[in-house]
């Protein structure tokens, strides 16, 4: 079984994934894969630098994410172009990782901030939404990523609204409390998946 794990920015998806990992569950993070496909030498990076110019590259040839982010979040057409280059490659690489993990884990997680938006939900059997109030998303993201409030709002606007994401969820983890509360919810879901679906 493949379980999609998603949530808005700053909701704590990675923390929840690590909690499942501590119970022996393997996971693939779509953000990590998205970084893989734009490493130096990858075709996607060559296409991106050709399209946007060298301003989106660091001196060492790696992708300057903040420069690229400031271009695409202000320009929906450029964001669409970028997604058309990266999303198919990310999807292909995700499938390779999931197949490998399925051989060694009772079920696997696909952790993706854009699970529904990118169509990656078609790859999974169930979905978990990690949920926190929007105010908490804002404060966590600004503290973690050192970005402006305007940039956080732009990122939020690119993601499904909270209510819509919740209606698409099979399961919800409320991550607005403490670590123990989150861990208890993860443990219960893990038991539920093992008992009902495996």
Do 86 and 52 meet the contact criterion of CB atoms below 8 Å apart? no
Q: What single string gives the DSSP state of each residue in 138-156?
A: HHHHHHHH---HHHHHHHH
Cα–Cα distance, 17 to 37 (Å, whole number): 21
Cα–Cα distance, 27 to 3 (Å, whole number): 9
Within 8 A by CB and 6+ apart from 28, the residues are 94, 97, 98, 101, 108, 109, 110, 111
Cα–Cα distance, 10 to 3 (Å, whole number): 20
Residue-by-residue pLDDT tens, the chain, 198 positions: 999 999 988 899 999 999 999 999 999 999 899 999 999 999 999 999 999 999 999 999 999 998 998 899 879 999 999 999 998 999 999 999 999 999 999 999 999 988 998 889 999 999 999 999 888 877 777 777 667 777 777 777 778 888 999 999 999 999 999 999 999 999 999 999 999 876
Do 10 and 32 meet the contact criterion of CB atoms below 8 Å apart? no
Cα–Cα distance, 140 to 122 (Å, whole number): 29
Helices 76-102/65-72 angle, 10° precision? 130
DSSP-derived letter for residue 114 is T
Taking the chain, what is the end-to-end CA distance rounded to the nearest angstrom? Answer: 8
Identify the three-state secondary structure at position 116: coil
In Å, how far are 13, 39, 73, 151, 188 from 145, measured between CA atoms? 15, 21, 16, 10, 31
Distance from CA of residue 164 to its chain's centroid? 17
In Å, how far are 21, 37, 65, 151 from 83, measured between CA atoms? 29, 12, 14, 18
């Amino acid at each position: 079984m493949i379980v999609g794990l998603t949530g808005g920015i700053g909701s704590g998806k990675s923390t929840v994934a690590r909690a499942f990992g501590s119970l022996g569950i393997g996971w693939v993070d779509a953000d990590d894969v998205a970084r893989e496909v734009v490493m130096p030498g990858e075709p996607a990076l060559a296409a991106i630098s050709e399209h946007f110019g060298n301003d989106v590259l660091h001196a060492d040839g790696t992708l300057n994410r903040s420069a690229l982010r400031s271009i695409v979040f202000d320009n929906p057409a450029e964001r669409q172009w970028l997604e058309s280059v990266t999303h198919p490659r990310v999807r292909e690489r995700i499938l390779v990782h999931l197949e490998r993990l399925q051989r060694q884990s009772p079920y696997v997680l696909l952790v993706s901030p854009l699970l529904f938006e990118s169509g990656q939900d078609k790859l999974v059997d169930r979905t978990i939404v990690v949920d926190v109030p929007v105010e908490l998303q804002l404060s966590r993201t600004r503290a973690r990523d050192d970005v402006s409030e305007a940039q956080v709002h732009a990122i939020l606007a690119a993601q499904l609204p909270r209510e819509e994401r919740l209606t698409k969820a099979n399961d919800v983890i409320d991550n607005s409390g403490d670590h123990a509360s989150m861990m208890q919810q993860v443990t219960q879901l893990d038991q539920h998946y093992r008992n009902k679906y495996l």
